[in-house]
Amino acid sequence: MARRVHAQAGLRRDITSLVPPESGERILITRAGVPTPMIAASDPGHLAAVIAPGIVAERHQFSVLEVSQHFHPTHCLHLQTAGVTRVHWRGGGRSGSETMRASSLMLHGQGTGDSTAFAGKSSRVVVSFDPAVMKKMMGDESERRFLEIPSRWHFQDPQLERLVRNLEVEVGSGLPSGRIYGELLGLSLFEYLVQHYGGDRPLQAASKGGLPKRMLDRVVEYIAANLSQPLSVAEVATVAGMSSYHFARLFKASTGVSPHQYVLAQRIERAKRLLAAGQSNVIDVALDCGFNDQSYFSRVFRRAAGVPPLRYSREVK
């Protein structure tokens, strides 16, 4: 019983750390050189999560909002998910007004400054990227490509919208798929931004040959030894000695699946072995296999095995 209570408490702590209610990890702007949150955490509908090193996502809801003159220390992408709002802006020696609706996007590059006033109900997701951290994660040598992302006050991009909405769903549900999936979503989103809205040199393509066998074996062994831990792409990429971006692509070239898909499959196989060995407490099995959400574990297990965990346990005995 003590272990079960401890396991449940650990499950709650992990989720809380991913989506902290009052975390210092916020999307920041600067006024007079002083960092401050973009929007107060007390605003209705606020939600914040650190997706990966250098990537923070927030969800905001407001009707009227004024943000006085400020600067962006990171790249910030806004997606309006609901409502209609009028935005009056001033920045870069220009000014204008835009009508934002669901699917409307707004992009501010690092170092840009502006002031904005919103009038009308708005629900939006904002994703922030720290260029210095992203440059390290992407492993690209072009400094200019990561620093020069110009601002856009109103545009639409269905692919970009899809990526942001997928991220919103994952954040809103407490990142049940774990850190590795959140990181891959964040990397995919930033890769798309760089490719379509960044500098003039394409990102270097990963080798089609995949990881060398010895390196792949080392990565697979590391994953197997750490399945119960909250694995991240950056952590496993370090084992391979390369950037997260290139590791993810080389790993898929070698295995045919993404790092997230591979880790998920290995966790399900471990769960099957534990259940077959007589471990019937679903919370314990979920924790032992690296899942931080019991209901998510049950859904994934049923999709893979065709039956829920408890039924599988009974049928294999």
For 277-287, the pLDDT digits (tens) are 988 788 899 99
Q: Flag whether pLDDT at 148 surpasses 80.
A: no
Q: Flag whether pLDDT at 276 surpasses 80.
A: yes
Residue 104 maps to which CATH number?
Answer: 2.60.120.10
CB 48, CB 26: distance < 8 Å: yes
Report the pLDDT averaged over residues 17-29.
55
Count up the domains in the chain and report the number. Answer: 2
For 93-120, the pLDDT digits (tens) are 899 999 999 999 999 999 899 999 999 9
Q: Tell me what pLDDT residue 128 has.
A: 93
Contact residues for 229 (Cβ-Cβ < 8 A; gap 6+): 290
pTM of the full structure: 0.77
Give residue 264's domain range: 213-316
Residue 135 shares a structural domain with residue 54: yes
Q: Is residue 19, in this structure, part of any structural domain at all?
A: no
- What percentage of residues in the chain have a pLDDT greater than 90? 44
Q: Is residue 140, in this structure, part of any structural domain at all?
A: yes
Contact residues for 28 (Cβ-Cβ < 8 A; gap 6+): 35, 36, 37, 38, 73, 74, 128
Q: Tell me what pLDDT residue 22 has.
A: 37
Residue 307 maps to which CATH number?
Answer: 1.10.10.60
User: For the chain, what is the mean pLDDT?
Assistant: 83
Partners of 117 in beta bridges: 66, 88
User: In whole angstroms, what is the distance from residue 303 CA to residue 252 CA?
Assistant: 22
Higher confidence at residue 21 or residue 77? 77
Q: Tell me what pLDDT residue 125 has.
A: 93
Boundary residue ending a domain (197, 223, 257): 197
